Amino acid sequence: MGLSNIIFLSVFIISIALFIRNLSTIIANIKLGKEINRSDSPSKRWKNMLRVALGQSKMTRRPVAGILHIILYVGFIIINLEMIEIIIDGIFGTHRFLSMVIPVGLYNFLIASFEVLALLVLISCIIFLSRRNILKIKRFWSKEMTTWPRTDANLILIFEILLMSAFLMMNAADLSMQFKLSSEIVGAFPISSFLIPIIDRMTIESLFILERFCWWFHILGVLLFMNYVLYSKHLHIFFAFPSTYYANLNSLGQFSNLDSVTNEVKLMLDPNSDPYASQSLPTQQMFGAKDATDLNWLQLLNAYSCTECGRCTSNCPANLTGKLLSPRKILMDTRDRITEISFNKRNGIIDKKSLLGDYISAEELWACTTCNACTESCPIELDPLSIIIDLRRYLVMEESAAPSEINTMFTNIENNGAPWQFPAADRLNWKDE
């Protein structure tokens, strides 16, 4: 094993170790949320995950972005199969190892497929960059899309362009050396062969340096990309699958009930119960959520899975009418807050912040019409509405801080048994008029 192989193996092991450590931190952050049971209907959940996350079924509702994203998605999966060969070559010092263990025709087909996909991915990334920075599509420039979210999206696209360019140039240099040193060509290069005229006059030594530079650039870029994703909105590459598996399978208009409230109502309606018996009293707990740790782990997983694509916000009727609410911001704020809580916990820092108030305002929450447009439009079925509802529950049930219109309705229900301002005895007076 030569020096370059030792360096590669060391870098590879360090990169994998960092990835595992940072991913474990994010999973630990998610586990700070409360328990929720989503173990029902496993067959339906698998079908939903395969259809939405793997099959990209909701992406094509916007055909241009959907098709381009599918190209990136397929390219990401298939081109990275080549990483198997690169890793083996890097550790053992071989060159195009797979060409020695699989049939020539299959190997040529794979390399040709990788190249075609690399070109399509490169073109798709350029189009995506143009949509964001030249066309400046509105949903990419909302208030919550500050400097970092916009930069993050651009960096990922630039990363992909550089990686695909290095891959094609590496193949072009390798093909040029094969032309000059061998009568038998290993691999099929339908795209990189067009780059040969650019480097054809280079010496063997220069071609070797170019090929090695692109090889190292590509593998180090992939390892860097793999670790960067954990700090990026592109974490959905991994988390879209569990998010769609554990997604809500019930009707979107069906809200969950708090067990503590349900138990108390049952206790009140049961004529045989003793409301003063200690065993009958419901366990005291906070209603709703004030901070990120009051949410359940699935809501926190949703927050980390958010792609920041803005489809939820662009379909939100409250946002479209100029209200402060942005469902995307709800998820982004939740992710930022639970990350902050975890950091403070590890470093012994005590803060007096909370998700409600310091990150998300009551005005945002009460602007929501609970229409579920955000959840319906999300390409990976995230549920920002559930977070909004839990924060609202805290405002109403813990702080009695509902808007005056809602408080009036509550008073009418308490006094009159209905939301209207007249007693039950007068409800049929309209028929006598």
pLDDT in tens, 52-72: 999 999 998 889 889 999 999
- Between the CA of residue 103 and those of 8, 115, 186, 198, what are the distances in Å? 28, 19, 11, 31
Q: Per-residue pLDDT for 426 more than 90?
A: no
Does residue 203 sit in the same domain as residue 226?
Answer: yes
- Do 275 and 235 lie in a common domain? no
Domain boundary among 220, 245, 270: 245
The residue length of the chain stands at 433
Both 241 and 265 in one domain: the answer is no
Q: Name every residue whose Cβ is closer than 8 Å to that of residue 189 and which is 6 or more positions away in sequence.
A: 111, 112, 115, 171, 172, 175
Whether 338 and 359 have beta carbons less than 8 Å apart is answered as no
pLDDT of residue 283: 55
- Residue 310's φ and ψ, nearest 5 degrees, are 85, 5
Question: Are the beta carbons of 95 and 89 closer than 8 angstroms?
Answer: yes
- Are 238 and 263 members of one domain? no
Q: What is the pLDDT of residues 172-182, one digit of tens each?
A: 999 999 998 87
Q: Which residues contact 431 (CB under 8 A, 6 or more apart)?
A: none
Q: What is the pLDDT of residue 78?
A: 86
| Residue 281 in this model has a pLDDT that exceeds 70 | no
Q: How many angstroms separate the CA atoms of 62 and 127, rounded?
A: 15
Residue 430 located in a structural domain: no
Quick one: pLDDT at residue 433? 61
Four-CA torsion 176, 177, 182, 186, nearest 10 degrees: -70
364 found inside a domain: yes
Task: List all residues 6 or more positions away from 210 whose beta carbon is below 8 Å from its beta carbon.
Answer: 169, 173, 199, 202
67 phi/psi in degrees, rounded to 5: -65, -45
User: Looking at the 3D structure of the chain, how many domains does it have?
Assistant: 2
Nearest by Cα to 384 from 320, 286, 299, 319: 299
Residue 11's contacts (CB-CB under 8 Å, 6 or more residues apart) are 220, 223
> What is the distance between the alpha carbons of residues 408 and 364, in angstroms, rounded to a whole number?
21
Pull the structure tokens for residue 387: 């977070």
One domain for residues 199 and 274: no
Phi and psi at 430, nearest 5°, equal -60, -30
Q: Does residue 309 sit in the same domain as residue 368? A: yes
Q: How far is CA 83 from CA 31, 142, 190, 228, 386, in A?
A: 32, 37, 20, 18, 40
Residues whose CB is less than 8 angstroms from the CB of residue 197 and which lie 6 or more positions away in sequence, other chains included: none
* Residue 38 in domain: no
Residues 294 and 189 in one domain: no
State the pLDDT confidence band at 419, using cuts at 50, 70 and 90.
Answer: confident
Quote the percentage of the chain above a pLDDT of 70.
Answer: 97
Question: What is the C-alpha separation between 88 and 94, in angstroms, rounded?
Answer: 7
- Return the minimum-mean-pLDDT range out of 46-50, 269-273, 312-316: 269-273
Residue 398, pLDDT > 80, answer yes
Same domain, 282 and 205: no
Residue 277: per-residue pLDDT: 60
**Rg, the chain, Cα only:** 28
Same domain, 297 and 173: no
Residue 106 counted as domain residue: yes
| pLDDT at residue number 259 | 78
Does a structural domain hold residue 283? yes
Judge if 325 and 374 occupy the same domain: yes
Asked if residue 179 is part of any domain, the answer here is yes
Q: Determine the average pLDDT of the residues in 394-410.
A: 89
Of the three residues 185, 220, 245, the one that is the final residue of a domain is 245
Instruction: Evaluate whether 280 touches 264 at the Cβ level (below 8 Å).
Output: no
Is residue 358, in this structure, part of any structural domain at all?
Answer: yes
Q: What is the CATH number of the domain that holds 264?
A: 1.10.1060
H helices of 80-182, in order, are 82-92, 104-133, 147-181
By residue range, what is the domain housing residue 393?
A: 259-424
Q: Are 71 and 121 in contact (CB under 8 A)?
A: yes
User: Residue 432: its pLDDT value, please?
Assistant: 74
Residue 415 lies in a domain: yes
Domain boundary among 245, 280, 300: 245
Q: What is the mean pLDDT of the chain?
A: 91
pLDDT at 278 over 70: no
Same domain, 220 and 266: no
Same domain, 240 and 271: no
